[in-house]
Chains A and B, each alone.
Chain A
Amino acid sequence: MVPGNEHKLIERILAGDTKAFEEIVTEYHKMVYTLAFRVLKNHEEAQEIAQDVFLKVFQSLKKFKMGSKLSTWIYRITYNTSLNRFKSQKREVKTVDIDGYNEQDFLNSQNALDNMSMKEKRKIINESLLKLPEADKIIVTLYSYEELPIKEIADIVGISTHIVKIKLYRSRQKLYVELKDKVGEEKLDYYEYS
């Protein structure tokens, strides 16, 4: 959504045109749901959180500062709401160790993934994403899918740009290890020797 159009839309909603809010919901619902799902790993809870986010956005629209980006604000609310729910449920975070690797490992993994079906690939990649820590999942999702600049991601998550860069780097390292593990020795052998 273009910032100028966003502001006109917000003004219409604040003037009483509630139906106009549907444009905001339609525009952002998938990413809000995705972010919530990445944190909570549960579809029903992610739906609940996504609904709560849009209700909060609607109720707080008059507090929105017209100079800032609507997407940043909405994603920040999503991140905070999801994280609060996650913390209240005290879920365990399984972290991934970054093992040593060599060039051959990398080539084997790449070949193996290239030869999988799209459906298999997506399943493996999404499962690997879910194993990252909560903030890292959000950062990787916003960077890879929304292609948001680092500064905007830092605003959403509430950390410095330097930390975002570090987390992005480490997340990619972890994802690589996860993908390597998921593909597994059998498949690597199959693709290497077939």
Chain B
Amino acid sequence: MNTVDNQKEDFVKQALKTAYVEDPGDSFVPNVMGKVFELASEKNKLPVAEPIVSKRGWFLAAFFVISVFSFSFYFNSNTFSFSIFYDYFEKISFPHLSIPVSGIFLIGLLAFVFYFIIQILFITRRINT
């Protein structure tokens, strides 16, 4: 480094010593401590135990069970028949597979769709919380 470089360095060093550290004001420390105490009190709160299945969940489950039993008690083959489905779908065909459409198959499919929708609702709620 040449002489002028050194002189410049010294000049800037001296100049910087006269500049000052900024002051955020007298209220800064009390404001920060206020927020710190709030944080500390939130940390200390005991977690409230929540049930795994909520009241709403129980109502839905009860509704579903009651519906299934009601369906089996009050509907029989004379009042309800799956023949309307058979009119449209005798079987579900794939290139190398053919699944015959039966009452059991349709009940299983309906239950799966219902279960799937319920799961989506639960997962969405979980993600949102």
Interface of A with B (CB < 8 Å)? 18-19, 21-22, 25-26, 29-31, 33-34, 37, 43, 46-47, 50-51, 54-55, 58-59, 101-103, 106, 109-110, 113, 118, 121-122, 125-126, 129, 140, 144-145, 172-173, 175-176, 179
Do B12 and A55 touch across chains, with their CB atoms under 8 A apart?
Answer: no
Question: Residue among B9, B20, B22, B23 with the most chain A CB within 10 A?
Answer: B22
Do B18 and A125 touch across chains, with their CB atoms under 8 A apart?
Answer: yes
A29-B29, A33-B23, A58-B40 provided; 18 other pairs, C-beta below 8 A? Answer: A18-B40, A21-B33, A25-B36, A29-B28, A46-B22, A47-B28, A50-B24, A51-B35, A54-B32, A55-B36, A101-B8, A102-B4, A106-B8, A109-B11, A122-B19, A172-B8, A172-B9, A175-B12
A residues within 8 A CB of B20? Answer: 122, 126
Do B4 and A103 touch across chains, with their CB atoms under 8 A apart?
Answer: yes
Query: What are 30 A-B contacts with C-beta separation under 8 Å?
Result: A18-B40, A22-B29, A22-B33, A25-B29, A25-B33, A25-B36, A30-B24, A34-B21, A46-B24, A50-B24, A51-B32, A51-B35, A55-B32, A55-B36, A103-B4, A106-B7, A122-B18, A122-B20, A125-B18, A125-B19, A126-B19, A126-B20, A129-B16, A140-B16, A144-B19, A145-B21, A172-B13, A175-B12, A176-B11, A179-B15
B residues within 8 A CB of A140? Answer: 16
B residues within 8 A CB of A19? Answer: 33
A residues within 8 A CB of B25? Answer: 47
Contact of B17 among A31, A43, A109, A144 (CB under 8 A): A144
Contact of A18 among B3, B28, B37 (CB under 8 A): B37
Do A25 and B11 touch across chains, with their CB atoms under 8 A apart?
Answer: no
Q: How far is the CA of A54 from the CA of B8 in the complex (A)?
A: 37
A residues within 8 A CB of B24? Answer: 29-30, 33, 43, 46-47, 50
| Chain A, residue nearest B28 (CB) | A29
B residues within 8 A CB of A145? Answer: 16, 21
Interface of B with A (CB < 8 Å)? 3-4, 7-9, 11-13, 15-25, 28-29, 31-33, 35-37, 39-40
A residues within 8 A CB of B23? Answer: 30, 33
Do B28 and A55 touch across chains, with their CB atoms under 8 A apart?
Answer: no
Q: How far is the CA of A106 from the CA of B20 in the complex (A)?
A: 23
Q: How far is the CA of A37 from the CA of B22 in the complex (A)?
A: 8
A residues within 8 A CB of B36? Answer: 18, 21, 25, 54-55, 58
| Chain A, residue nearest B41 (CB) | A18
Kindly list the 6 A-B residue pairs having the minimum CB-CB distance in the complex, ordered from nearest.
A125-B19, A33-B24, A144-B16, A34-B22, A172-B12, A18-B40
Q: How far is the CA of A129 from the CA of B20 in the complex (A)?
A: 11
